[in-house]
Amino acid sequence: MSRTSRRAAARKRMQTLLIATVAIVITILLLLVLAHLGEDKPPIPDDSVSGSTSSQTSDTDGTNLTSKSDTDGTENSSQTSKTDKTDSKTDTDESSTSSTTNEGSGNTSDRTESHQEGSFSEPFDFSAWNLILLNPDNPLPEDFKVQLKTITLNGKSRQVDARCADAFVEMVTAAKNDGITLYLRSTYRGIQLQTDSFNAKVQEYIRKGYSKEEATAKTATIIAVPGTSEHHSGLAADITTPSYDRLDSGFENTDAFRWLREHCAEYGFILRYPSDKKEITKIIYEPWHYRYVGKQAAQIIMSEGICYEEFVERYGNTDQ
């Protein structure tokens, strides 16, 4: 073999060795890269362990595990659920407080709740300002003081107890929104004004031929004896309407009366002297006379069709 041929063969072997070396180096580098990637990859979890962990977290945290995977959906649902539980407790607490104090509110957001007779754990407090019993057998206490406020509705300014003034306004406004105009014909009356009205009626009957005793007894069925009238409390109102602005039984044939009978309890008022309760109330039927007692008491009275005296006997006592 010539020198030239030997040199050519040597160069060829060198090239082959170089190629082989490069290939080996590249292979080693690739293996190192793959090994590095394999170390960063998390291990595949065992299904049984994953299921056990998920169940335990759910038992402990409620729906929090699912909430984390769905912030806009399930988490909101979870928060709503918790809020509902809180609201439910609040409603229960408020209902319990209302059963104890029974002070009605004029806020229309306050709802009228259904009830079952005798379902209250405690009797109503009939010494509360809104539950005072006034009738011929229960005169106004000597130390009674009324907190008066003047309200103007449908062009008429009247004085009522300040604590139920909003309820009067809301009821009359609600009626107006339903196309019914209610006039507060008479609200608060002092004892002296009641005395003047009572005596004038007595004299009217005397002029008709009644004895003074007969005239007084007859007047007492129409006008409360001074000191026993609900008008002294500022909680009562005689209500009429433009189409029937008279205080007599004909008012029951008006849309205003029908609206009041259906909705008055929603605002804490009752029809004080029903037509079938004269023997109990000792007052004639007055479809125009409404009394504030608070929403809870009003709902019971109107839904059960009882008068206030029956309500007092059934849900508490007057020995306060």
Q: Which residues are catalytic?
A: 286
> Alpha carbon 260 to chain centroid distance?
20
Place of tokens 């500022």: 234
Rounded to whole angstroms, the maximal C-alpha distance in the chain is 169
Q: What distances in angstroms separate CA 88 from CA 83, 295, 297, one per listed residue?
A: 8, 20, 22
**Residue 183 main-chain phi, psi, to 5 deg:** -100, 130
Q: Which two tokens stand for residue 307?
A: 């008068």
Separation CA 78–CA 84 (nearest Å): 10
Tokens of 58: 């759910």
Structure token pair of residue 51 = 């299921």
Token output for 46:
């065992």
Write down how long the chain is.
320
- Strand stretches in the chain, DSSP E: 148-153, 156-161, 183-186, 236-240, 269-273, 286-292
Collapsing DSSP states into helix, strand and coil, what is residue 14?
Answer: helix
Closest C-alpha among 184, 159, 158 to residue 171: 184
Look at residues 136, 202, 190, 180 and name the one whose alpha carbon lies nearest to residue 159: 190
